[in-house]
Structures are given as structure tokens and as C-alpha cells.
């Protein structure tokens, strides 16, 4: 037991001496650590000052849906018109969990990137695609440049080696069915994924939409556009089935209406031309026209009822979005957070300085370059 206690790491005098020695070594080289920290601090200030500004605009909306069964005043009005709604349902509620999928879809992203937005730096509105991919509209950003040629340097080298890749080509029929993206469109979509955010609060039942852009006015414009497009796409997905039914009934109703009006006109012409005739042939022709008239009238009346029923169903199924917090033009920028950047670079510089003091002797020993030791005070 005594032997176990004596060899315990907590009572190992060599480790205590090593720890004290490390602290002394850091203290002796405090000037080097301070210089590295100050250098990183200055770099942080430069990054904070020259990083591109961003403003955030957005809105909060609450998706609502009608009850599953149509009832109340609509049923009463339908009954007065001779329409029996029965167990007609408005369909299940489209879950807000699908909203991010809709936002990330290629058709949705294309609608966004070809939206024309007015930027403060340009006289004429510019499409989002051109703004982020056309060199004419690019802004210089020290932070992006540093990241590009440090962390992103391998990607830059690989891109230069690979060169330009040909765009995909499709035949006329395939082009209408398959979505394709150009390189600029793919680049713009990757950028928009970081610029447009959708947060779902399932507990309270609301959706928060936010858009980051380089100036306040463009952020508000694009946020409004994204909100309108999201409502449009969700509505189309929700009413797709009932809208298809309405279109079908509308087509049949228009045909029945034309047939009825045609028979109605033929019947009227025949009756005007044969007012005083009582021949059997004329009576037979009159009966045929009356039969056709009654049949077309019955079909026309029934389709008219079905058309109204389909219209009511579309109205009931259409989702309603309550805008709790509308889009407003932001007053203050959301990025860069300059104080946080300076603090992070300062801490990073301190850790870099400590790591330099501790690793330089090892690197000098491994590489055999004794000149590295002159920077460290042992």
C-alpha cells in the first residue's frame, strides 16, 4: 500500500518539478508570447475592420389550416344551392417540417437567384445570381481573401489543376423534365444556403425566416421575396390534388355548357319555325329535341354543382399564413461582430505564442536546426 501511494502521479515530485519548469519557461519567454499575441490582435482588428458587412432581415409567420371537415356556414350555403358536401375533407395539414426541403429545392433556389434586387452600391437592380457570381459586382473582403488563400488554398489549387468542366447537355425532351445547374448557379446556391435560414419552433407553432445580405435594403427585399415564394410553393403543394380535380370539373363543365347552349338554341329555332304545325314528324322531332334538352340540362346542372363543390374544397384546403412579424429594413448590421473577432484573435494569439515556446525546442532537435533555439530562453 505504501509503495502504491509513493508512485501515485499526485505525489510524483518529477511531475511537479516539470510543471513548475514549464511555467518558468513560459514566464522567461513572456515577451515572445506577448509579441505573437499582439500580432494576432492586430490581424484580428484588420479582419474585423475589413470584413464585409451583413444585415439580417426576416419575418415570423404562423402556418394555419382549416378544420379537416368542412362545416358551419359553408355547409349551409352549399345545401341551399343543392350541393351535398358530405364527408368532403380539406386534406391533412402539410407539416412545417417540409418547409426547409421546399426552401432547398432546385426550382425554389432558381426562383430566388433570378430575383432582381436593388443594392445600394448600384443604380440598377441586379439579379442575385449576377451579384454573387459576376466579377463586376464583387466586393473585396480581407477576411474572405485570408480564408481563401490559407484554409481554402488546397481548393484553389485543385480548381486550377482541374480547369473548366463542360456544362451538361440534354436533348429537348430531357431538358424539360430534368433540372440542371450551371457552375454559376451551383455556386450561387451554395452561397444562398448560408444566407437564407429557416427556423421551426414546433413547440409554439411558428416559423422564423431570416436573410443575410450586404446592405439593409437588399436584405429586406430578398426576405420579402423568399417569404412570398415559400407561401406560394407550400400552397401549390397543399392544393395540388384538389386543384387538379377543380381543373378537371371546370373542363367538363365548359363542355356541358356549350352542349346545353347549342341544344337550347336548336330547340328554340325549331319551336319558332314549327309553331302552327301539328304533323307527327314535327312532334317526333320536338320530342327528340326536348329529350336532348333535358339530358344536357341535367348534366349541365350536375356539373355546375360539382364545380361549386370543387371551388369550395380548394378554398378550404388552401393554407393560410399569419404574418406575426413582417419584414422590416434592418437598422444595425448583424455581421461582423468586431469585438468578438478581436477577442478570439487575441486568445488565438496567446495560445499560438505558448505553443511556439513549447514546440520550438522540439522542432530544433528533430530538424537539427539549432538556430530555432535562439528564439527561446531556456
Query: Residues 283, 198: one domain?
Result: yes
Query: Residues 353, 282: one domain?
Result: no
Q: How many domains does the chain have?
A: 2
In a domain, residue 11? The reply is: no
Of 70, 72, 74, the residue nearest 89 (C-alpha): 70
Query: Residues 315, 329: one domain?
Result: yes
Of 241, 270, 213, 232, the residue nearest 58 (C-alpha): 213
Query: Residues 229, 376: one domain?
Result: no
Query: Residues 140, 244: one domain?
Result: yes
Would you place residue 111 in the very low, low, confident or very high pLDDT band (cuts 50, 70, 90)?
Answer: very high
pLDDT of residue 324: 87
Each residue's pLDDT tens digit, 192-201: 998 999 898 8
Range 87-93 average pLDDT: 48
CA distance 207 to 121: 32
In a domain, residue 16? The reply is: no
Each residue's pLDDT tens digit, 143-175: 555 655 565 666 657 666 655 555 555 444 445
Each residue's pLDDT tens digit, 201-254: 888 888 899 999 888 898 999 999 999 999 999 888 888 888 889 999 999 999
As given in the structure block, the three cell numbers for residue 329 are: 429594413
Query: Residues 90, 227: one domain?
Result: yes
Pinpoint the alpha helices (H) of 81-215: 99-104, 106-113, 128-133, 142-148, 153-162, 172-177, 183-195
Each residue's pLDDT tens digit, 331-344: 888 777 778 888 88
Alpha-carbon separation of residue 181 from 187, 194, 303 (angstroms): 10, 18, 44
Query: Residues 191, 272: one domain?
Result: yes
Residue listed under C-alpha cell 445570381:
129
Query: Residues 272, 123: one domain?
Result: yes
Query: How much of the chain exceeds pLDDT 90, in percent?
Result: 17
Write out the H or E segment, with its range, that includes residue 52.
none
Query: Residues 95, 223: one domain?
Result: yes
Q: Please say if the pLDDT value at position 69 is more than 50.
A: no
Of 36, 23, 22, the residue nearest 356 (C-alpha): 36
In a domain, residue 6? The reply is: no
Q: Please say if the pLDDT value at position 372 is more than 70.
A: no
pLDDT of residue 134: 84
pLDDT of residue 31: 82
Q: Please say if the pLDDT value at position 96 is more than 60.
A: yes
Domain of residue 194 covers 52-165+173-335
Q: Please say if the pLDDT value at position 91 is more than 50.
A: no
Alpha-carbon separation of residue 308 from 15, 77, 256, 279, 302 (angstroms): 88, 11, 15, 43, 10
Pinpoint the alpha helices (H) of the chain: 2-6, 13-28, 30-50, 73-80, 99-104, 106-113, 128-133, 142-148, 153-162, 172-177, 183-195, 216-273, 280-317, 338-367
In a domain, residue 14? The reply is: no
Q: What angle do CA 309, 312, 317 make, to 5 degrees?
A: 125
Q: Choose one of 335, 351, 366: the last residue of a domain.
A: 335
Amino acid at each position: 500500500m505504501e509503495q502504491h501511494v509513493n508512485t501515485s502521479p499526485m505525489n510524483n515530485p518529477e511531475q511537479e518539478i516539470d510543471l513548475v519548469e514549464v511555467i518558468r519557461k513560459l514566464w522567461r519567454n513572456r515577451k515572445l508570447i506577448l509579441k505573437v499575441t499582439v500580432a494576432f490582435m492586430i490581424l484580428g482588428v484588420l479582419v474585423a475592420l475589413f470584413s464585409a458587412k451583413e444585415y439580417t432581415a426576416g419575418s415570423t409567420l404562423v402556418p394555419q389550416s382549416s378544420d379537416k371537415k368542412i362545416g358551419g356556414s359553408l355547409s349551409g350555403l352549399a345545401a341551399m344551392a343543392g350541393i351535398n358536401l358530405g364527408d368532403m375533407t380539406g386534406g391533412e395539414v402539410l407539416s412545417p417540417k417540409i418547409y426547409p426541403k421546399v426552401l432547398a429545392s432546385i426550382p425554389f433556389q432558381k426562383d430566388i437567384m433570378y430575383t432582381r434586387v436593388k443594392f445600394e452600391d448600384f443604380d440598377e437592380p441586379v439579379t442575385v445570381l449576377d451579384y454573387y457570381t459576376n466579377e463586376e459586382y464583387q466586393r473585396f473582403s480581407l477576411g474572405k481573401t485570408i480564408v481563401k488563400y490559407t484554409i481554402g488554398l488546397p481548393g484553389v489549387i485543385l480548381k486550377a489543376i482541374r480547369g473548366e468542366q463542360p456544362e451538361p447537355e440534354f436533348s429537348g425532351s430531357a431538358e424539360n423534365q430534368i433540372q440542371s445547374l450551371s457552375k454559376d448557379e451551383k455556386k450561387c446556391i451554395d452561397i444562398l444556403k448560408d444566407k437564407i435560414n429557416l427556423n421551426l419552433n414546433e413547440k409554439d407553432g411558428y416559423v422564423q425566416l431570416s436573410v443575410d445580405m450586404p446592405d439593409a435594403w437588399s436584405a429586406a427585399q430578398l426576405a420579402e421575396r423568399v417569404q412570398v415564394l415559400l407561401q406560394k410553393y407550400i400552397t401549390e403543394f397543399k392544393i395540388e390534388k384538389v386543384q387538379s380535380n377543380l381543373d378537371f370539373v371546370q373542363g367538363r363543365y365548359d363542355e356541358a355548357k356549350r352542349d346545353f347552349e347549342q341544344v337550347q338554341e336548336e330547340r328554340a329555332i325549331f319551336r319558332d319555325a314549327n309553331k302552327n304545325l301539328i304533323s307527327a314528324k314535327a312532334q317526333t322531332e320536338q320530342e327528340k329535341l326536348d329529350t336532348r334538352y333535358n339530358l344536357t340540362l341535367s348534366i349541365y346542372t350536375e356539373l355546375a354543382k360539382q364545380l361549386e363543390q370543387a371551388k369550395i374544397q380548394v378554398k378550404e384546403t388552401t393554407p393560410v399564413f399569419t404574418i406575426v412579424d413582417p419584414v422590416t429594413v434592418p437598422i444595425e448590421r448583424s455581421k461582423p461582430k468586431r469585438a468578438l473577432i478581436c477577442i478570439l484573435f487575441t486568445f488565438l494569439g496567446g495560445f499560438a505564442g505558448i505553443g511556439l515556446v513549447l514546440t520550438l525546442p522540439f522542432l530544433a532537435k528533430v530538424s537539427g536546426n539549432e538556430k530555432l533555439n535562439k528564439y527561446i530562453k531556456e
